[in-house]
Chains A and B, each alone.
Chain A
Amino acid sequence: MLTSEDYNYNNKCMNKLKFIKGKAIPFAAILSAMLFVPSAGMLSAHASVQSTQQQESVSGTVIDNTGEAVIGASVVVVGAQQTTGTVTDYDGHFTLNVKPGTQLKITFVGYKEQIVKAANGMKVTLEEEATMLQAVEVVAYGVQKKVTVTGALSSVKAEDLTRTPVSSVNNVLAGQLSGVTTVQTSGEPGADAAQIFVRGQGTWGDSSPLIQVDGVEREMWDIDPNEIESVTVLKDASATAVFGVRGANGVVLITTKRGAEGKAHISATASFSALTPTKMVEMASSYDYAMFHNAMHDNDGTAHEFSQTVIDMFKNNTDPIRFPSMNWSDYIMKDVTLQTQHNVNISGGNKTVKYFISAGMFTQDGIFNEFDRPYDFGYGYSRFNYRSNLDIDVTKTTRLSFNISGKVDNSDKPHSGQSSDQLVKEVYWATPFSSPGFVDGKYIVNSNSTSDNYTTVEGDNAKTIPVLPFTGGTPMAYCMSQPGAFQYNNNKLQMDLVLDQNLDFITKGLSVKLKGSYNSSFATATEITNDASTYTAVFHRGVNESGNIYEEILYRKAGDDTTPTYRNYQNGKSRNWYTEGSLNYSRSFGLHTISALALYNQSKEYYIKGDYSDIARTYVGFVSRVTYDWNNRYMAEFNFGYNGSENFAPGKRFGSFPAGSLGWVVSDEPFFKSVKKYISFLKLRASWGLVGNDKIGGSRFLFMSDPYNVNQTALWERAQYSSGSDSGVAYAYLFGVENGTATKGAYESAKNNPDVTWEKAFKQDYGFDMNFFDDRLRTTFDYYMEHRTDILAIDYRIPTFIGFTPPYSNFGVVDSHGWEVSVNWQDKIGKDFRYSVKLNLSYNFNEIIEDRQAPQQNDYMYTAGHRIGSRLQYLFWKLYYPGAEADYEKEFGSPFPTQLVSKLYPGDPVYVDLDGNGYIDPNDQSRDFGYTDDPQYIAGLNLALSYKNLSVSAQFTGAWNVSRVLGDVFQRPFHNRNTENNGGLLQYHLDNTWTPENPDPNAEYPRATWTNAIQNYAASTLWEKDAKYLRLKTLQIAYDFHFPFMKVLGLNQLQLSISGYNLFTLTPYKFGDPEARASSTPSYPLQRTYTASLKLGF
């Protein structure tokens, strides 16, 4: 068996090309050779009617194409005066008193009607009807006939996910699936996967859904989308209760493709994409910067920092080295980068062996300029995915499935240790005159030192030489301050082995399934370091031999360029396995169909990140499900999950999660016949149930006795704080005189609670599926309610003097509700023109009911009673103007409150005194206003049309009732990491700030000021910006060619397509991408992609 070590090769040769040639291709070849089935020839799959001698009585068997008996199929004589007929029995047998040769019509729900000539001993194979009734849905631990599904779920097929190549399937889900919210905040290659929520956030704890690939918890973002058959999202309790403590946030099930009996089908796609960053926010030029800076000083009545001579230098651009005006985002970001995605997959099989084998390669260049360094560090990403899914019918009743899949990926980053988000922030923090960048291969930094800008020459003191008042920052740190790179390599290997044994010989309809999965990954990294020289521009005036004064720019060199050094190290590993054993029973008795499932699973994950990394994380679960339907008309289902999580005390580990659902296909009722012409299908559904969530936050094992740490040897200065907690704080002390031996320390590290338990979500879902006009218009509607309790929280009402943070307890309560609707119209006009319109719309509302927040002065300040993520902010009224006092009093009936600063100037924001005490203080901050970062409404619109060989499809997504808060440099001019006066300035500030010259009462930005900063830049509704958007997420135009030579080559598909991703966005939000966060953490720009793809099928 292959192990991860086999993939572990030297990082130095992780050149993409070498990698493919040297490793990937042989590997794929070996893999294929191992698993490939030599003869992929077609075997006849259909048994036909066998006639024998003529007799008066005819008996026969009706089976389906799997060879199973079809029970309850009706067999009637065609053209008889009276209805003569019968139904098949439990074994699919029927006997009918007719002459052989009589035409018999055999029908069964979900199968194509067949007319056959009667013959004794005949065997009729019904073909499944390709209609919705026959379609199946992937559900928890299995599949279910779509018509009998009573839970709330939505699914999307492969072809909707691969219209345009994206690295991560997460990014095209929004708008495809109702009830799914995605937020893509970053465009960083290899790290751009959108966050997914199912039906919004039901808790302020971890609200990410459980994600399973082929029934095992796995990551989905790094799967090659070409390997995916379907994505199903389970939303209500009935669908998720079987996941017990894991299912409360919804479940995303990904199913990969499998082979089907038939000739080998080879599909190859190649795509090349040009990526351009969606808009970066424009920055001010040096001249505008200086003018605005001085104007801001004027506002404050303080001295200018930019002298007129400096301003003239900027204006006339006479010295582009010492007084440059850089557009940093243009300078360090490439205009366009290349992305490629290639996939070859082969599928097919014979009667006993079916296979699907896929190999895919994805590359995406980083956007950041690498300035000719001999190594990659600009956030490039490449990934190789492979998969082989194999199904072997070992015997007629035994099927063995074996999946092996994995990925190898490479990514690189600058050595500066900055995240890509940070790097982007540096662009916004930079001043346009801090450096002219590279000049003649030298990286120049400017200096505002008087000694670097000699202003005098002996005997010539008259001339004033302009000197920058300050230089501010550059965004070049990623390549200049700590030159080098981190290059990461990840190998992931996943295997599933499934044994499905039909136990019909015990009792009909019974089968047993055993499954084992193993996942491992191994990561290495290479750290590349070198030194790079920088040059400081020094202005020099001197007197030459002939006594003339001359001026020149000299460079003072610092540091040396050195050759890079390399260091390899292991960067992480993971290993987990999953086993499952289940008994399935499914059988129809006449019109009654019963199915039952009993399943046990357990899983173990090693090398947990964070606390107690040496202790594997384990789960066990017991699942049972019983479904019943009568003639596909009345459905009832009962699900039960019983499972445990190590997060809770022994004895409190296991929980029971029951759920039930009912369904009624009203349209099958006789009374419905009259309207069936219009309403072709109507199903009502309802479900209720309890689901849990053990990802509650806090550390693992919160139930244990209060932990103490002893034998601490690190000194306090070394303490590594992690966001306010003191995990890992050092407690040793240095006593003595110049004594380097630390005395070991011990301390109480936390207070625990033995009673902690999982979150519980009681969910209800009421919905209907309704089709009109012969199923051409299909609609689905769901209304849901959720009552989430036992959310982990800390009681912040306890006084601090007790000396410790009170332990976590399950206090929290959140209520949420919402609805989802999807409408799907599909039709054709004439023979060649087909089109479809799919619209889905989701609404989600949630409210924190209880969270034991520290007491607040006013009710509107509490998080309770508000949406998760609500913002505490002042209510902005108007920009101040003389006479505003009277207008305020008129409007609010209370006197104009004292604001946060003692003196307001025209153009300063005025806040509303919510508690009416006459002055503005933090108690006037409220959570009542505005929206949150996650949208309340998400809509998706999918359009597809095809005419002959041409097809066009488009996916729009939109969101509203969502907002972003401006922070950092987006809010304050001249902000950077350290200062409020030497940082960056957005062009947007120039254009939209209230100024005495342009006293626009509706200006986006208040008067620029330092002295009144606490007023003007306080968190208020002024800074909350509407971030609703409508975006053309994907667009594809494809053409299928049919050349004569294709037949010769055995080519049955040749498709050329062009597509785009993130093509345009309509939004009132101006600060970059509405999905990205433009607050204090701007991020790697999202990419706009233009792609040309070629798809071949053999």
Chain B
Amino acid sequence: MKLHHKLLSGVVMLSLAGVAFTACTDDIKFGSSFIEKAPGGTVTLDTVFNSAEYTRQFLVGLYVQQYYGLPYKNSTASPWSQSYWNTKLDALTDCYHQHFSGSNAYTMYYSNALTSNDRAIIAYNDDKVWETVHHCWLLIENIDRVPGLSDSEKKNMIAQAKCIMASRYFDLYSVYGGLPIVEHTYTGTEGDLSTRRATAEATANFMVKLLDEAIPDLLWAYNGTTIETDATNNTGRWTSAGAMALKAKILLFNASPLYNANQPYYDGSTDAERDSVVWHGDFKQERWQRALQACQDFMNANDANGNWYELNKATAATPDAYRQAYRMGYIYQGSREIIHSTRVAGATSNKASYQWNNFVGPTTTETGPGPFRHSYGPTQEYVDMFCWADGTPFDWEGDMTAGNINGEKGKLFFEYVKGRGGAVQRKASRDPRLYENAIVNGQSERLNWTSGVSEGNNYELWVGGYHEKYQVADADGKIVEQDTERFPSGYGTIKYYLGREYQGKYTQWVYLSYDEMLLMYAECLAQCDQLNEALKYVDEVRARVGMKGLKTSITKSKAAVKPNMDNKQDVIEEILRERACELGMSNNRYYDMIRYKHGEWMTKRLHGLLTYRLIQIGKNWEHNIRPYIGDDKNAGVAEPSRFEHSLFELQNRSRVLWDYSPDDLEVRKWFLFPLPLTEINKGYGLVQNPGW
């Protein structure tokens, strides 16, 4: 009885405990079966490549990993090139000077402090290049077994993957030289993974081979009428035009003096030079011929395809219309000037995480608050590259003497004509592309997206102006430097930023474009001594913005020293200048600098513009450091029309290399970036670039 009682109470308690503590669980399990199974429905390699839909998605995933040339992310994770703590290649050229002191432009590059322990702008290890290559091979190796895909679709998908792989290889090749060639996926358990860097030429050939294999399987353009071939749904995919243009760009790079020369760019003592991974070991004119051929092939193919790719032409011969034509040529996703674009975001908005726009200029007002993490101030040197509106070269000294800059007839950016009642009319006086590559004093805040007409307030970039309120003064109070992060050089970034008219518009970065193609063609022709033919294509690019031909314009110039358009070197330098004006913010200025070993672009001191608004007091014109927007404008005072300009040297963020000779090895090592030391230390055969 007693025993029974004890047992009973035990059982009762047990069941109570059981009910209390298992009520919330589905069933009672013990031991190994209690441990949950691994998550069900897990997606693996087999899942993806057993489904046409997932395989297509996997291809989309490769597109995501393409290079995007505008940093916009607040992240230091891979891909490093997209972080605004990094910087843009353009900031290392003579065209732009980065003023955001938190960026690596300042801490690593201008201070000449980069080492092989740091990540370069396009990071060898941390830009997802090798991940992309691995993923491309995953697709290529596994696509055969995917059910529900036609052979032609498979071929087309492989071709797209190969283009992406070639483009990612090019992203590294253009700043590092020869690379290890990856021709299949790895497991990581291979054991010996010894792989040397391929020579620069072999690396170029590897990319070209991939593209050559891809070209026959791709469409020339997505201009069809079906949902698989139309522009609305497919623009942005690789085309045979893209593949051919990239091939031309690779071969152009391959033929350029950096690699294709009788002398290596460094001192010839390094392993990298001996291994021909950072130059070819000799100069061969055939390399230029080969690049020229690739350009011609592109042009012929475009011709055969009804010249689908073309320059976006102006609808009227006005400065605004030229600007609009140039702008829509690169910014509008449907532009037929774009051969290949990459995308990372949707439409811009002030809440988006696409912070390229938000951090170039604030979206609600033009002055603040920042942070202006993309304060790539266009330099005076860059602005001076832009001709007068008719095409006549600009020349600070000559034009200053001629009274074109300061004084009553000063028309540095705009000609001001006093109309009835004191109203002022403005007419842009320079190459229309200037206003699309640098915000200059007096320029309207907006160019209407649809109508292409200037509107809104003017940018006031004079000392004390509405947009340029901050300056650096010396101990005596004399202003020596502009200091806003937004307009640090007296100019502001506008390419890919535009103005508030860009709000709500779809974003992209142009990877390859038709205007670049024309200028590459011109360069190859010039390198192959066909100077007149070359100028034809340069002039085609200039004509789009209403400028006269190069030869004619130079003849008109009153400059003391003028380039000779019958001289091969002079023509090439003019093409490079034209590329800078046409292809702002595209990395091309950086590529040109290293391709042509232009150390002097790194060592020359750069300048900004100091502008004063002048008011007439009695007979004198005096500085007026008040803004116009606000008080004066509200009071009905006429728009400021007279300014005084002077130059200042960028000091706040000066570059250490400015004190060096262009031939100094410390400068020349910069023609290629350092490979990461950690990677070299792995000892599988990677050799360091010279000087690092």
Q: Which residues of A contact B (CB under 8 A)?
A: 1, 302-305, 307-309, 394-395, 397-398, 400, 448-452, 454-456, 458, 461, 464, 467, 469-470, 495, 497, 499, 501, 505, 512, 514-518, 575, 577, 579, 600, 602, 604, 612, 614-620, 644-646, 650, 653-654, 701, 703-712, 715-718, 721, 723-726, 730-740, 742-748, 751, 795-804, 806-807, 854-857, 900, 921-923, 977-981, 1011, 1013-1014
Contact = CB atoms under 8 A, between A and B. Distances in A.
Given A747-B135, A803-B137, 16 more contacts: A303-B651, A307-B473, A398-B9, A400-B13, A469-B472, A514-B14, A516-B17, A618-B36, A704-B42, A707-B43, A717-B353, A717-B354, A746-B54, A746-B61, A801-B130, A1014-B111
Nearest to B117: A922
A856 B682 CA distance: 8
B614 interface: no
Given A450-B470, A499-B13, A801-B180, A707 B57 contact: no
Nearest to A399: B13
Contacts of B505: 738
Given A456-B625, A711-B57, A653 B43 contact: no
Given A653-B32, A922-B115, A745 B57 contact: yes
A746 B48 contact: yes
Contacts of B124: 800
Contacts of B480: 303
B635 interface: no
- 5 nearest CB pairs, A to B: A803-B134, A449-B469, A516-B21, A746-B57, A802-B186
A701 B10 contact: no
Contact of B43 (A710, A715, A721, A900): A710
Interface string B125-149: 1000011111101100000000000
A825 B466 CA distance: 77
Q: Main secondary structure on chain B at its contact with chain A?
A: loop
Contacts of B10: 398, 499, 501, 512
B235 A737 contact: yes
Nearest to A447: B469
B561 interface: no
Contact of A710 (B21, B31, B47, B236): B47
A736 B63 CA distance: 13
Interface stretch (B72-80, B274-282, B312-320, B546-554): B72-80
Interface in B464-507: 464-466, 469-477, 480, 483, 505-506
Contacts of B36: 615-618, 646
Contacts of A798: 188, 193, 682
A450 B39 contact: no
23 contacts: A304-B474, A464-B477, A467-B473, A514-B13, A602-B30, A604-B34, A618-B35, A701-B38, A710-B54, A712-B57, A712-B61, A715-B346, A730-B64, A731-B64, A733-B236, A733-B343, A735-B63, A744-B60, A745-B64, A747-B135, A803-B182, A855-B681, A855-B682
Interface string B1-28: 0010110011001101110111011000
Given A516-B21, A747-B135, A451 B344 contact: no
B133 A803 contact: yes
Interface string B188-220: 100001010000000000000000000000000
B304 interface: no
Contact of A718 (B45, B185, B353): B353
B403 interface: no
Contact of B102 (A731, A735, A977): A977
B226 to A, nearest CB: 13
B139 to A, nearest CB: 10
Contacts of B334: 737-738
Contacts of A469: 472-473
B580 to A, nearest CB: 28
B113 interface: yes
Nearest to A303: B474
A707 B236 contact: no
Contact of A733 (B48, B60, B352): B60
A623 to B, nearest CB: 14
Given A449-B470, A715-B345, A745-B64, A800 B14 contact: no
B198 to A, nearest CB: 11
B677 interface: yes
B627 interface: yes
B291 interface: no
Contact of A800 (B9, B138, B679): B679
Contacts of A921: 115
B417 interface: no
B307 interface: no
Given A497-B17, A706-B44, A395 B5 contact: yes
A802 B102 contact: no
B31 A620 contact: yes
A731 B61 contact: yes
Nearest to A654: B32
Given A499-B14, A724-B77, A734-B506, A922 B677 contact: yes
Nearest to A721: B77
Given A618-B35, A854-B678, A855-B682, A978 B21 contact: no
Nearest to A798: B188
Contacts of A654: 32
Contact of A620 (B32, B347, B464): B32
Nearest to B58: A746
B430 to A, nearest CB: 27
Contacts of B9: 394-395, 398
B333 interface: yes
Contact of B42 (A448, A454, A705, A731): A705
B559 interface: no
Contact of B34 (A309, A620, A716, A803): A620
A838 B235 CA distance: 78
A554 B68 CA distance: 46
A854 B677 CA distance: 10
B188 A751 contact: yes
Contact of B78 (A456, A616, A724): A724
Given A518-B21, A704-B39, A738-B333, A733 B63 contact: yes
Contacts of B38: 650, 701, 703-704
B25 A604 contact: yes
A388 to B, nearest CB: 16
Contact of A721 (B3, B18, B75): B75
B605 interface: no
A738 B231 CA distance: 10
Given A450-B463, A501-B10, A505-B3, A804 B134 contact: yes
Contacts of B560: none
A803 B35 contact: no
B47 A708 contact: yes
A855 B686 CA distance: 13
A757 B472 CA distance: 61
B60 A745 contact: yes
Contact of A854 (B116, B506, B681): B681
Contacts of A495: 20
A614 B193 CA distance: 40
Residue among A512, A730, A807, A923 with max Cβ neighbours from chain B (10 Å): A923
Contacts of A515: 17
A584 to B, nearest CB: 15
A795 B73 CA distance: 29
Contacts of B472: 303, 305, 469
Contact of A737 (B117, B232, B346, B483): B232
Contacts of B684: 799
B683 interface: yes
Nearest to A977: B102
Contacts of B627: 451
Nearest to A980: B101
A796 B186 CA distance: 15
A305 B16 CA distance: 78
Contact of B470 (A448, A514, A731): A448
Contacts of A981: 101
